[in-house]
Structure formats: structure tokens, C-alpha cells
Amino acid sequence: MALKTALEHNPVLTIAFLLFGGWLAITTLNVASSMGSLTGADWVGHTGPGGIVGLGVLFVLGVLVVYLYAELAESDPAPDSFPPER
């Protein structure tokens, strides 16, 4: 609930959260398009196994962003705020 309240009261944080999600999507496409062959013998530059590891890390970050977004959409159960808002 604290994250949801923070995003509601701070639009800069909301914009940063959305920009991070967009950057993550663009970077994932860039890594997927620039990685080399998985079975090639060339181990200099963008290699296939390195690309797979990079895509795995980006996938985990993407799951984290989706999880945080799902938590923001959740309204119940919500604890009472402290101090009470008037």
C-alpha cells in the first residue's frame, strides 16, 4: 500500500516507473536482435549465450515490473493509513 500511495502523491515517481518499463522493453528487443548464433564458434562480441543470459535478466526485471503494477492495482486488503488523513 505504501508504493501505491507514493505513486498517487508523486507524479515524478509514476513517470519514472513507466519510463523504466519502456526502457526495459526497448532494451530487451535490442539484446534479442543483436545477439549472435547460439552454436557459433565466434566468442568475440555479442555472443548467443551472453544474449540468453541478458534476456533472462531482463525477463526477471520485466516480471518484477508486472508484479509491482499488479500490486498497485490491488485495493484490498488495505491497512489504515497512519497518521489518519482528514
Distance of CA 79 to the CA centre of its chain: 26
Q: Tell whether the model's pLDDT for residue 66 goes beyond 80.
A: yes
Q: What is the mean pLDDT of residues 75-82?
A: 67
Query: What is the per-residue pLDDT for 61?
Result: 92
- Residue ranges of the alpha helices (H) in the chain? 2-9, 11-34, 48-73
- Per-residue pLDDT band at 67 (split at 50, 70, 90): confident
For the chain, which residues make up each domain, given as ranges? 2-35+47-73
The model's pLDDT over 10-49, given as tens digits with 9 standing for 90+, comes to 788 778 888 998 999 999 999 888 887 777 666 676 788 8
Q: Which three cell numbers mark 55?
A: 534476456
Average pLDDT over residues 48-66: 89
pTM score over 0.85: no
Residue 21, judged by CB atoms within 10 A of its CB (0-12, 13-18, 19+), counts as middle
